[in-house]
Amino acid sequence: MSEQRVVAVGTPPTFRQQVARALDRAPEDVEWMPTVSAAEAVIGDTSKDPSVLVLSPAIKEPDAFGLAEYIGRTSPATAVLMVRERSMNGLLSDAMRAGIRDVIDLSQGADELREALDRAIVWSLNLRGVRDEGADEKANRKGNVVSVFSSKGGAGKSFLACNLAAAIASEFKKDTALLDLELGVGDVFAHFGKESTRPLQDLLAIGDRAERDAVLEVGTLLTGHLWGFATPGGDPAGQNVPGEAIGKVIRSLSRAFDHVVIDATAQYSDPALAAFDLSDAICLIASLDIVSLRHLSLAMETLLSLGFPRGRFRVVLNRADSKVGLSAEEVQRVLKVKADALIPSSRSVPAALNRGRPVVLESPKTEVAAAVFALARTFAVGSEANGGRRKLFGKR
């Protein structure tokens, strides 16, 4: 494991020895940076990002949380650990929310540091290395899984996930599951004029159910052939759900349904990364403004560096006719990507939302609906072709 980069951050310089000892390494096999800013400066060369950043007790909480949030955005497979001289009590949940993977209380002895470092290295290795297992896994199931992602809020992620799912269910009459990963804060059900009433435990329990009926029972029928899976608004328990638990849920859904559409989180959360692992396609959506496009370009780079194959990405440009000075053609040329879908801006979208029906059902003859139907068709038809190929060649 010695190739796994571990960086100790914060004074005193002997903190490096302390970390090295816990890892049974020579001190020179652990890097050391004096400050949070120095650590932030080494992140960015995604192929070499460290597996673990471990922060000394000298790093103050606000700096630690700020660094963890930054790392979560720019290097999601790097684990951030905090070492404290005593228990954090009240601040623990803030730390977790900021994306810190573990807080080590040195007053509990040195073993805790060793165990936390080992766990963090394994976690990071898994995140970087599970991609191939994902491919085998896909051969064993029936449903086609599509995730929708944008690291920037407001790009149209929920709009696309809901309309894509409704389009697949209505046009192809395929049983479809729509999963809202913004646990406790999602708005997928609102697109259908409904609210989820099933608590988080019910959703996670799907992961252990093999029976299709038991899975359907936890879902809410949103419209013909379409079942929604989400937790009720305001349930804070959703913030710390492990990726592994969501992975199980998605596997169950993909056995019970022909299609699974996932509205992912705007962060590179563990649940979102688990969803991407199990997805046949990841739709990266952006609108035609510089900030949104920068997020799109960075997201592609980040996901590639995590080992997701380029062929899994679908680029969706939303509001692609907006008169904001950037044309879809220019964007495709500059970003060197070909968009898989161009979705126009339309007043029918908010109007449909206000009536609690996706625009593809409420106004199916509009251009915006046509663009979504066209994308939906590539998944519905493509998955049948895939199924055939799987049968011919066995496991990919």
Ligand X SMILES: Nc1ncnc2c1ncn2[C@@H]1O[C@H](COP(=O)(O)OP(=O)(O)O)[C@@H](O)[C@H]1O
**Alpha-carbon distance 145 to 159, whole Å?**
17
- Figure out which of the listed residues 4, 144, 150, 158 binds Mg ion, where binding follows CB under 5 A: 158
Task: Answer with the entry of Mg ion, ligand X, none that 154 interacts with (C-beta below 5 to 8 A by kind).
Answer: ligand X
For Mg ion, the nearest residue by Cβ is 158
The CB-of-147 to ligand X minimum distance in angstroms stands at 13
Task: Answer with the entry of ligand X, Mg ion, none that 302 interacts with (C-beta below 5 to 8 A by kind).
Answer: none
Answer positive or negative: Cα dihedral of 365, 366, 367, 373. Answer: negative
Q: 97: closest CA among 67, 119, 65?
A: 65
The CB-of-148 to ligand X minimum distance in angstroms stands at 8
Residue number with CB closer to ligand X (151 or 170):
151
Residue number with CB closer to ligand X (193 or 350):
350
Q: Which residues make Cβ contacts (< 8 Å) with residue 205, sequence separation at least 6?
A: 218
Long-range pairs of 42-48 with CB within 8 A, sequence gap ≥ 24? 42/7, 43/70, 43/71, 43/74, 43/75, 43/78, 44/74, 44/75, 46/75, 46/301, 46/302, 46/304, 46/305, 47/305, 48/5
The CB-of-183 to Mg ion minimum distance in angstroms stands at 12
The CB-of-259 to ligand X minimum distance in angstroms stands at 19
Q: Which residues make Cβ contacts (< 8 Å) with residue 188, sequence separation at least 6?
A: 158, 161, 162, 178, 180, 182, 228, 230, 263
* Residues 181 and 390: beta-carbon distance below 8 Å: no
* Residues 82 and 100: beta-carbon distance below 8 Å: yes
Place of tokens 């963090």: 120
Task: Answer with the entry of ligand X, Mg ion, none that 163 interacts with (C-beta below 5 to 8 A by kind).
Answer: none
The CB-of-159 to Mg ion minimum distance in angstroms stands at 8
**Alpha-carbon distance 141 to 212, whole Å?**
13
Residue number with CB closer to Mg ion (158 or 363):
158
Question: How many residues interact with Mg ion (rule CB under 5 A)?
Answer: 2
Residue 86 carries which DSSP code? S
Q: Which residues make Cβ contacts (< 8 Å) with residue 65, sequence separation at least 6?
A: 94, 95, 98, 100
- Structure token digits, residue 157: 């992620």
Task: Answer with the entry of ligand X, Mg ion, none that 343 interacts with (C-beta below 5 to 8 A by kind).
Answer: ligand X
The CB-of-380 to ligand X minimum distance in angstroms stands at 21
Task: Provide the binding-site residues for ligand X, judged by CB under 6 A.
Answer: 150, 153-159, 318-319, 343, 345-346, 349-350, 353, 368
Piece in contact with Mg ion (CB under 5 A), picked from 90-98, 103-111, 158-166, 228-236: 158-166
Q: Which of residues 319-358 bind Mg ion (CB under 5 A)?
A: none
Residue number with CB closer to ligand X (15 or 159):
159
Task: Answer with the entry of ligand X, Mg ion, none that 259 interacts with (C-beta below 5 to 8 A by kind).
Answer: none
Residue 141, classed as helix, strand or coil, is coil
Q: 207: closest CA among 179, 234, 236?
A: 179
End-to-end CA distance of the chain: 29
Write out the H or E segment, with its range, that includes residue 297: helix 290-305
Residue number with CB closer to ligand X (141 or 157):
157
Residue number with CB closer to ligand X (157 or 259):
157
Residue number with CB closer to Mg ion (12 or 154):
154
Task: Answer with the entry of Mg ion, ligand X, none that 349 interacts with (C-beta below 5 to 8 A by kind).
Answer: ligand X
The CB-of-321 to ligand X minimum distance in angstroms stands at 9
The CB-of-334 to ligand X minimum distance in angstroms stands at 21
Burial track 174-203 (b if 16+ CB lie within 10 A, e otherwise) = bbbbbbbbbbbebebbbbbebebebebeeb
The CB-of-157 to Mg ion minimum distance in angstroms stands at 5
Task: Answer with the entry of Mg ion, ligand X, none that 242 interacts with (C-beta below 5 to 8 A by kind).
Answer: none
Residue number with CB closer to Mg ion (158 or 318):
158
Task: Answer with the entry of Mg ion, ligand X, none that 387 interacts with (C-beta below 5 to 8 A by kind).
Answer: none
Task: Answer with the entry of Mg ion, ligand X, none that 156 interacts with (C-beta below 5 to 8 A by kind).
Answer: ligand X
Residue number with CB closer to ligand X (13 or 153):
153
The CB-of-341 to ligand X minimum distance in angstroms stands at 11
* Residues 15 and 8: beta-carbon distance below 8 Å: yes
- Provide the 10 A C-beta neighbour count for residue 393: 9
For binding to Mg ion (CB under 5 A), which residues are involved? 157-158
